[in-house]
Amino acid sequence: MTSERKIGILTATAIVAANMIGTGVFTSLGFQVFSLQTGFAIIALWLIGGIAALCGALSYGELSAAMPRSGGEYHLLSKIYHPAVGFLSGWISVAVGFTAPIAAAAMAMGQYLSRVLVQS
């Protein structure tokens, strides 16, 4: 009795959005509010960051459409620049791009949880 489980478009979108946003909103916003005293500056900062992220996503989308093959960023950078660039990008993604957000999320959760438990 095998049951195929499929992730729908709504669930996939929610997972990607949660991974992209992560705890960055909760941790960085406090520093921004402390440093930038006006609401306009904070909104402008987030708007510029969103536009930059959108440009990066659209660029990767166009490159992937032009060079369709599995391998992601490694494949694209290897073909555009040099295989060593793709290789280094993969290792940097593993060392910094994946582990650092997990560590930051764990540290933020630990701080939030300790505040909840201490005040209880």
- Residue 38 lies inside a defined structural domain of this protein: no
pLDDT tens for 54-80 read 999 899 899 999 999 988 889 999 999
Report helix angle 72-80 to 83-92, nearest 10.
150
Model confidence band, residue 1 (pLDDT cutoffs 50, 70, 90): low
User: Is 120 part of any domain?
Assistant: yes
Residue 82 belongs to domain spanning: 70-120
Q: Specify if 29 maps to a domain.
A: no
Residue 61 lies in a domain: no
- The answer to the question of residue 105 being in a domain is yes
Residue 46 lies in a domain: no
% of the chain residues with pLDDT over 90? 32
Question: What is the rounded average pLDDT of the residues 35-46?
Answer: 88
| 72 three-class SS | helix
Is residue 114 one of the residues assigned to a domain?
yes
Residue 20 has pLDDT above 90, yes or no: no
Contact 64, 51 (CB under 8 A): no
Write down the pTM of the prediction: 0.63
Domain count, the chain: 1
HSE value, Cβ hemisphere, 13 Å, CA-based, for 118:
6
CA 72, CA 62: separation in Å to the nearest integer?
12
Is 94 inside any structural domain?
yes
Question: Cα(106)–Cα(79) distance, rounded to whole angstroms?
Answer: 36
At residue 17, the pLDDT reads 77
The pLDDT value given to residue 108: 82
What is the structure's pLDDT at 75? 92
